[in-house]
A and B are shown apart, each in its own frame.
Chain A
Amino acid sequence: MCLAVPMKVVSIDNETAIAEVDGVKREASLMMLNEEVNVGDYVLIHAGFAISRLDEAEALETISLMRECLELGQETL
């Protein structure tokens, strides 16, 4: 139930955005979003409301932290 889906914003009209993932488009209210959002941003959408905007720098940082263990995985499995 608490599963929100990261979707890419394709258009914005006042407080409502259209966002898309895997070809599925959804309308989402922006009234609950804290941050400014632009077309092309990823937002987390839950039950018709955008609740958080993706921090792309943080996402890349997490991936690079995870990659530090890559070699270890290849050695042991």
Chain B
Amino acid sequence: MINLEEFRSRDLVKGLAAKIRELTAGRTDTMTFMEVCGTHTMSIYQYGIRSLLPPQVRLISGPGCPVCVTPIGYVDHSVAFARLPGTIITTFGDMLRVPGSTSSLMQERARGADVRIVYSPLDAVNLAEKNPDKKVIFLGVGFETTAPAIAGSIIIAAARGLENFFVLTAHKTIPIPMQVLSSDPELGIDGYICPAHVSAIIGANAYRFLAEEHGIPCVATGFEPADVMHGVEMLVRQIVEGRSDVEIQYSRFVTWEGNVKAQAVLRDVFTPVDSAWRGIGVIPQSGLEIADKYAAFDAAKVIPVEVEEPREAKGCQCGEVLKGKVAPFDCPLFGGVCTPETPVGACMVSSEGSCAAAYKYGQ
């Protein structure tokens, strides 16, 4: 019988940290590992992982917060939809306070727009069924963990013959951006702490090109503190032994092939497209657009609306933070004008954002 609480054991974390110190003892080089999942970012801050590591091991945060990497134009688009009469906007909670160019969904809600937080896109489908006279728009933001749920809800809405359920998509996929970042000499990434639940969907094989063609060690790692420490230990071991392999630390939920059923659903509902990442720019084939077959559910295609010209906030370093080039504390706005109560950039809004995690837990 397994006790999943054990992955939070302090003793296991301490033991693994000691192993990392033993492996790096006497080395003068620095190993830089990037995590590309917001839940890892939170976990590393929350459990003080950095404070347990030797100076040779440096952890940096990448573009793992889906709300943060979504361009401001998407927020403006959702704000424009929220202003349309007869519309209900449905979203996961962290989108609500993200500042757009001149407004946010929270501000629109205060002005009377119908904006609702849902736990699942299926809740939005049910809402559409109960409100046939309203257009229900779900904000589809997230990586490969979230995209299958949105794809599933589109399939279910189609099966129920709903004509008033729509999705505004900004889904992103992570492996190609990882390759883009690892080729940036300024970052000097020596290994990736690969996402836990994204990997449950796409499978660890998805990182093989990074390890085999680009020489970057990759370890699919769980979110609990002992998992994170274990993932770092496996990366350190690869560097010490001169290897660059893909390994699975989170083997209790991640396989090499991933969830092939979810992958098939993704291929059915979405088409890979070039996609704009905040702070990074357009990355080829790193986004998911609703396929033509399901175009009737694509809010951007079927609901016309005028969207304002995008304007980024002055001084906000969110883009550089997302690339791991600027630490949250080094942004001139951090903790002064920009706090979770009055966020200037998306990195301070979402609980998964590096700035929000740094503000809450400090380091």
Interface residues, chain A, CB within 8 Å of chain B? 1-4, 6, 29, 31-34, 42, 44, 46-49, 51-52, 54-56, 58-63, 65-77
Known contacts A46-B197, A48-B119; A4 and B11 CB within 8 A of each other: no
A47–B237 Cα distance when bound, in Å, is 35
Provide the B257-277 mask, 1 if CB < 8 A to any CB of A, else 0.
001111001000000000000
Known contacts A1-B350, A2-B145, A32-B265; A48 and B122 CB within 8 A of each other: yes
Q: Is B256 an interface residue (CB 8 A)?
A: no
Report which of A32, A55, A67 forms a contact with B12, defined as CB distance below 8 A.
A67
Interface members, chain B 91-107 (any A CB < 8 Å): 92, 94
Known contacts A2-B37, A2-B142, A48-B120; A34 and B197 CB within 8 A of each other: no
A77–B18 Cα distance when bound, in Å, is 8
Report which of B11, B15, B195, B262 forms a contact with A51, defined as CB distance below 8 A.
B262
On chain A, the residues within 8 Å of B246 by CB distance are none
On chain B, the residues within 8 Å of A31 by CB distance are 152
Contact B18 A61 (CB under 8 A): no
A58–B230 Cα distance when bound, in Å, is 14
On chain A, the residues within 8 Å of B249 by CB distance are 62
A1–B346 Cα distance when bound, in Å, is 14
A42–B252 Cα distance when bound, in Å, is 10
Known contacts A65-B230, A73-B11; A2 and B119 CB within 8 A of each other: no
- List the B residue with the shortest CB-CB distance to A42: B4
Contact A32 B252 (CB under 8 A): no
Known contacts A2-B195, A34-B259; A29 and B152 CB within 8 A of each other: yes
A51–B144 Cα distance when bound, in Å, is 11
A29–B261 Cα distance when bound, in Å, is 13
The binding surface of chain B is classed by DSSP as helix
Give 3 closest A-B pairs by Cβ, nearest first: A48-B120, A73-B15, A69-B15
Contact B2 A56 (CB under 8 A): yes
The binding surface of chain A is classed by DSSP as mixed
Contact A73 B18 (CB under 8 A): yes
- Interface residues on chain B, number (Cβ under 8 Å): 57
Task: Tell me, rounded to whole Å, the shortest Cβ–Cβ distance linking A34 to chain B.
Answer: 5
Contact B2 A48 (CB under 8 A): no
Contact B261 A33 (CB under 8 A): yes
A15–B103 Cα distance when bound, in Å, is 41
Report which of A47, A58, A62, A75 forms a contact with B149, defined as CB distance below 8 A.
A47
Provide the B226-270 mask, 1 if CB < 8 A to any CB of A, else 0.
100010010000000000000001011110000111100100000
Contact A2 B66 (CB under 8 A): yes
Task: Tell me, rounded to whole Å, the shortest Cβ–Cβ distance linking B247 to chain A.
Answer: 12
A70–B148 Cα distance when bound, in Å, is 39
Provide the B337-363 mask, 1 if CB < 8 A to any CB of A, else 0.
000000000000010100000000000
Contact A48 B149 (CB under 8 A): yes
Task: Tell me, rounded to whole Å, the shortest Cβ–Cβ distance linking B230 to chain A.
Answer: 6
On chain B, the residues within 8 Å of A63 by CB distance are 2, 6-7, 12
Known contacts A29-B122, A48-B122, A49-B149; A2 and B197 CB within 8 A of each other: yes
Contact B120 A49 (CB under 8 A): yes
Contact B198 A2 (CB under 8 A): yes
A32–B143 Cα distance when bound, in Å, is 16
Task: Tell me, rounded to whole Å, the shortest Cβ–Cβ distance linking A46 to chain B.
Answer: 6
- List the A residue with the shortest CB-CB distance to B144: A2
Contact B152 A70 (CB under 8 A): no
Contact A2 B143 (CB under 8 A): yes
Interface members, chain B 78-127 (any A CB < 8 Å): 92, 94, 119-123
On chain B, the residues within 8 Å of A49 by CB distance are 120, 148-149, 152
A60–B22 Cα distance when bound, in Å, is 25
On chain A, the residues within 8 Å of B39 by CB distance are 2-3
